[in-house]
Amino acid sequence: MQLLYQTHSPYARKALVFAHEAGLAGQLEVIHHETSPTKRNEAVYAQNPLGKVPVLLRPGLPPIFDSDVICEYLDSLHTGRPLIPLQGEARWHALRVQAVAKGMADSGIAVRWETSRRPEALRYPPLRDGHTQKLLASYDWLEQELDVDGAVHVGHIAVATSLSWLEFRELPGFREQRPKLTAWYEAFITRPSMLATPLSGETQD
């Protein structure tokens, strides 16, 4: 299988970290692609009508896109403990955490548009501030709700890759007054799956 990837995408990294945690990374050929709403990548559009990575290419089968769907698919391929709990409150908790993490990445990208990516004359500070509040509220929620002592699940992977990207892009931080989340994050980023997938590069708009 091939994973169309971007070395500075929190979503692509989530899928690849998930593959490492599931023991499937060796089955993937990772191919970097630069994508942006303002710079069309024809190779990616040929596989995903949204023109975004990650995209998982499977021999003889349709491509799978969106990091959440790719993680679901990868979880169906291995025989170990599911990283997406199958049922009950454990499942809904993991998926809630994943949703918050995805929203943090979305809001982080929005903040970047309003601070550095959009031409200065077109930036809208109230939108930047609104998304910043979403980030801070999400950090507070995770400080209270994240299951820091449980077995690794998709929510943990999503949170770690989002927080790592937010720090990489020097966006509003989470460490101040959130000791539980900070300690968990510091431990998680030492996992082999995170060390094998470092962030790098700049967005090409």
Q: What is the mean pLDDT of each run of 10 residues along the chain (205 residues)?
A: 98 98 98 95 98 98 98 97 97 98 98 96 97 98 96 98 98 96 98 98 90
Residue range of the domain that includes 10? 2-75
Q: Are residues 124 and 93 in the same domain?
A: yes
Q: Are residues 35 and 65 in the same domain?
A: yes
Q: H or E element: which one contains 4?
A: strand 2-5
Query: Could you tell me the strand order of the sheet in which 29-32 lies?
Result: 29-32, 2-5, 55-58, 61-65
pLDDT at residue number 204: 87
Distance CA 14, CA 155 (A): 10
CB 147 within 8 A of CB 93: yes
**What global pTM score does this model have?**
0.97
CB 202 within 8 A of CB 168: no
Q: Are residues 147 and 187 in the same domain?
A: yes
Q: Are residues 69 and 111 in the same domain?
A: no
The domain boundary residue, chosen from 20, 43, 75 = 75
At 174 the three-state DSSP class reads coil
The domain boundary residue, chosen from 36, 52, 75 = 75
The dihedral formed by the CA atoms of 51, 54, 58 and 62, expressed in degrees to the nearest 10: -40
In a domain, 200, yes or no: no
Distance CA 24, CA 78 (A): 7
Q: Are residues 71 and 95 in the same domain?
A: no
Question: Residues with Cβ < 8 Å from 205, sequence gap 6 or more?
Answer: 36, 38, 39, 117
Distance CA 95, CA 97 (A): 5
Q: Strand ranges (DSSP E) for 41-161?
A: 55-58, 61-65
- Residue 103 corresponds to which tokens in the numbers above? 């929203």
User: Which of 4, 14, 20, 13 shows the shortest CA–CA distance to 52?
Assistant: 4
In a domain, 202, yes or no: no
